[in-house]
Amino acid sequence: MARPEPIYLDYNATAPIRPEAVEAVARALQIGANPSSVHAAGRKARALVEAARETVARFVGASAQSLVFTSGGTEANALAIQSAVAAGFKPLIVSAVEHEAVVETAKACGGFDPLPVDKHGVADLGWLEQRLKAVEASRPFVALMLANNETGVIQPVAEAAAMVRAANGWLHVDAVQAAGKIDIDFNALGADSLALSAHKLGGPQGVGALAWGERAVMSRVQHGGGQERGRRAGTENLSGIAGFAAAVEKSVDRSAIEAQAAWRDAAAARLAEAGASIAGEGAPRLPNTLCLAVADWPSELQVIALDLAGVMVSAGAACSSGKVKPSRVLEAMSYGAAAAGALRASGGWATTEADWIRFADVWLEARQRHAARQSAA
């Protein structure tokens, strides 16, 4: 019997590149010129960069004049945090479920106060309000992501922004995971800075963007030739930027992503019947993301079992040197021992209902085998 085609349900890690982005990258590579050159080919390259800037800025309701391209979401987050620190914003307040790109940069900048979340993974705005009152003589910096990469939980960013603005602070929003899955309006969110990444949208890896508003004081962290309006030196990644814009243009239509919600929920119901906890199900979530947790089946064993069956997903934990740590996000949500058994499945632009059904089938079969081995041990 022929083995079924592999199924990719790890879009939150990297979305497969869209054909339109591949074509845009190839066309840009053929230009073969530096956007800073003043000759005809250079002007053509510059026009491509600026058109892409307009496309990406419009996608999130930001000003193209206040958007720079970066090497990805990590650099975009770092540029915002380091700029805030350089401008004297302190203390740093970072939600307990932020991506490592934000957490590690904040640590490197002197540390931060963790903003707790409730059992659903939603930021505790009551705590934030009290903390902002306690530091009212300062200009606080708050980092609150729009949607979590592990659970898909959507945060109350606009409500937090009102509090931060009243405290004369800076609100940074990591929107990397949310882009292309829900509406993003920079002004409606009340963000002072907002990070994006192309490869979560079906664009190429190695390119992202940072948008900022009038209240943000941006620094030049990377020095050199003064590219990107003097905010981020280095020759622009022309082909990556072109692919980013092409992916953004295709992401405007979210029908394929929104269809995932019903398929995801059907799979989740089956897994819950088998004893899995569904992280964040009591809060608004991205339509494509399912995070489950079990206390008696480590994440890495789940990933291996599914991979052997041709289903690619992610552990809800950070792996290094062969060691798996419990999911920091689920620990913040008070999952206890089950945080070490977190698994994330995430669909995207090419995912079908059959993919979600097969994921559930394979997980349930693997769960039974694991339980049988445990009983026999």
Under 8 Å CB-to-CB from 347, ≥6 apart: which residues? 9, 11, 257, 260, 263, 264, 288, 355, 356
Measured CA to CA, the distance from residue 232 to residue 219 in angstroms comes to 9
* Residue of 331, 271, 273, 262 lying closest to 306 (CA atoms): 271
Assess whether 291 carries a catalytic annotation. Answer: no
DSSP 8-state symbol, 124: -
Measured CA to CA, the distance from residue 216 to residue 269 in angstroms comes to 44
Angle CA 61–288–371, to nearest 5: 155
* Residue of 198, 172, 93 lying closest to 138 (CA atoms): 93
Token pair, residue 119, equals 């059992």
Calculate the alpha carbon distances from 261 to 58, 136, 285, 356 in Å: 26, 41, 9, 10
Under 8 Å CB-to-CB from 48, ≥6 apart: which residues? 28, 31, 35, 238, 241, 242
Active-site hit among 47, 166, 308, 319? 319
* Residue of 199, 211, 185 lying closest to 237 (CA atoms): 199
Measured CA to CA, the distance from residue 43 to residue 253 in angstroms comes to 31
Measured CA to CA, the distance from residue 147 to residue 154 in angstroms comes to 4
Measured CA to CA, the distance from residue 151 to residue 96 in angstroms comes to 13
Token pair, residue 21, equals 């982005």
Instruction: List the catalytic residues.
Output: 319
